[in-house]
Structure formats: structure tokens, C-alpha cells
Structure 1
Amino acid sequence: MYFPKPGIKKHPKKRWNQPDRTFFGFGACHILASVYLEKFTDKGFYALRIMPKAGFYGNHIFVTDGIVAFDFHGYSLKSQLIAHFWKGWAERNPGWEACIEVVDFPLLETASLNQRKMLGPNQYLHSPIERAEKFLNRFDHERLILSVYQKARKHLIY
């Protein structure tokens, strides 16, 4: 998890100039999830949203097929991603709780995103869609998905 300096989201240039993992891990996760789903329609993935209870921060969107998950960290077991995220926010904010829901709104539609306090793709300094595509191109997706499934099998067998 990444926690940039307070106020950085209010400065388009500073927000944009963060490293990719920070950019997609702290404010543009929905863009990464949407581009992933468009690029890999054949993998059976869908988007989930972690929604903190009222008064808390920690919204996050990632993609999963129910076992394997992908977000700014790369690939992991869905259960481990959720546990890691939960632990990080709960340690920083006593009483932090959230629910997890299937995303049922368009992840690249500005009006829909703004209603949920997220930026649309046209509200960034440059194209976050192109940035997400470049980020995704750095991964060997088939090999990494297979390795997470192998890890899942070990956890079920042992």
C-alpha cells in the first residue's frame, strides 16, 4: 500500500508524476481495473470494490476471477490482497471496516465516477488509460496467473 504525502491528489502534476504503483494504488485503481478488463476479456475477471464504512478512507478497486486478483501490486491470491489491504488501513485507522461489492458502474465514465468521488479519465493531467496500458504490458500475465493458481493449490492441499 502506498500513502503519498497529504494533499498530492489536489495537484494534477504532482499526482501524475508519482511512480506507477503509487499512481494506480492511490487514486487511479479504477482506471487500471477498467483497462485490464478491456484488455483481457477472455480471463473471466470482474471488478470488486472495497468500500470503507462512513467516515473512513480506503476505497479500492481491483479485478479478480474469484481466486486470482490483480491490482497495482500485480497478481496475488484474492484473499491475500484483501487481507493486506484490510490490515494496512486498519493499522492506520482504528475502527476501520469496509464491505466488498461487485462493481456495477462504468469504470471509465466520468459522471458515474465523480458521483463516487473518483476522477474520470479525462480529468487527469495526461491519459491514464495509456499509462495503464503501458503498466499492463510489463507483466507476463499467463505465467503470473498460473503461478498464483499453483500457490492456491498448495494452500488447499497442505
Structure 2
Amino acid sequence: MPEIDQSGYTPAAVFRRTQAERADQQLAWRRPDQAFFAAGACHILAWEFVARHPSYRVAGLRKVGEKNPSHVIATDGTWAFDHDGWTPEAELLAATAEYEPETRWELMPITTGLAGFCADHRHRLPEQFHADPRPRARAYLDRYPSSPA
């Protein structure tokens, strides 16, 4: 994989879970917050963010042609929020494409609620985690300013 410029956006794929973390919810839960919300609970963070910022919407980042997103963010079309905090949406997409240059990526709007999204796209509901990830997501959001500027 290409080197990551740590001064900019860090693609979620950098934090992919291992097979052991996928199989063991306690092990996955013990990951550092950024890794946890980059891969495994990104959708929980996105929905908690949108609850605080209703002008934003939830969107999935997926490989072109695939049904299921591999990462979920909150965006207003200009700014995005995810495990890496506030990032211009264009920078997030460019950094993801640079990290995995063999893959074409696209954002897909997500118009269902969290439960519908989880059912349609093979993501865990909050009660399917080792513990409820929503309080952890809210605490993570508290670390960031309420706006990008």
C-alpha cells in the first residue's frame, strides 16, 4: 500500500480490522477510538454526528459497482466528518483513492435509518456490539469542535 501523509486525512482502510477482531467483539471493542470508528463502528459515529448536526446527512463510501459501503461518513457535500474528524469531502475522497489507487470509489446517499441501513448493508446494530457504542461515539464527538471552521 502507498505511504500515508499523516498531515492530511487518514483513510479508514488504514484501520481495517483483522480476522480476529472481526470474530471477537471484545477484541474489536478494545481497539483505540479512532480505529474503532474508522472500521467497525463508523456507521454508529455517523448517525450520532447527524443527530447533533441535522444539516448533515449519512453517506456510504463504496467501491464503484458494489452494493455495500465499506465506510460511512456524515457530510453536507462540502465538509465530511468521520474517525479523522472534520475533513473537506473532496480531500477524504482523494486520500481514499490515493491509498487504494486500484479501486474507484463513490459516495452513496443513505436514506434509511440506522436499523434499515444495518439490515440492508451487513452492519451491526448497536446492541450487536460488545457494549453500546453510542455513548462512546458521543464522547468521541465531544473531542472535536462543533464546526469545521
TM superposition score category, shorter chain reference: 0.7 to 0.9
Moved more, 80-89 or 51-60: 51-60
Residue 16 of structure 2 corresponds to 3
What SS does structure 1 have at the residue aligned with 2:31? Answer: coil
Moved more, 58-67 or 131-140: 58-67
Matches within 5 A, 1:117-132: 117-132=122-137
Q: Which has the larger share of helix?
A: 1
Pick closer, same or farther for the CA change 1:140–1:134 going to 2, 3 Å.
Answer: same
| 8 Å Cα contact 1:58-1:89 kept in structure 2 | no
Residue 154 of structure 1 corresponds to none
Moved more, 70-79 or 111-120: 111-120
Q: Does 1:106 align with 2:113?
A: yes
Number of residue-to-residue matches in the alignment: 136
Matches within 5 A, 1:3-152: 3-41=16-54, 44-53=55-64, 59-90=70-101, 94=102, 96-107=103-114, 109=115, 112-142=117-147, 145-146=148-149
Shift of 1:124: 0.2
* Cα distance in 2 for residues equivalent to 1:79 and 1:100: 11
* Structure 2 residues not aligned, in runs of 5+: 1-13
* Cα distance in 2 for residues equivalent to 1:120 and 1:102: 19
Q: Give the residue type in structure 1 aligned to 2:146.
A: H
Identify the structure with bigger relative contact order (alpha carbons < 8 Å, sequence gap 6+): 2
| 8 Å Cα contact 2:69-2:121 kept in structure 1 | no
* Cα distance in 2 for residues equivalent to 1:57 and 1:106: 15
Larger Rg: 1
Normalised to the residue count of structure 1, the TM-score between the two structures is: 0.77
Pick closer, same or farther for the CA change 1:34–1:50 going to 2, 3 Å.
Answer: same
* Cα distance in 1 for residues equivalent to 2:118 and 2:63: 16
* Structure 1 residues not aligned, in runs of 5+: 147-158
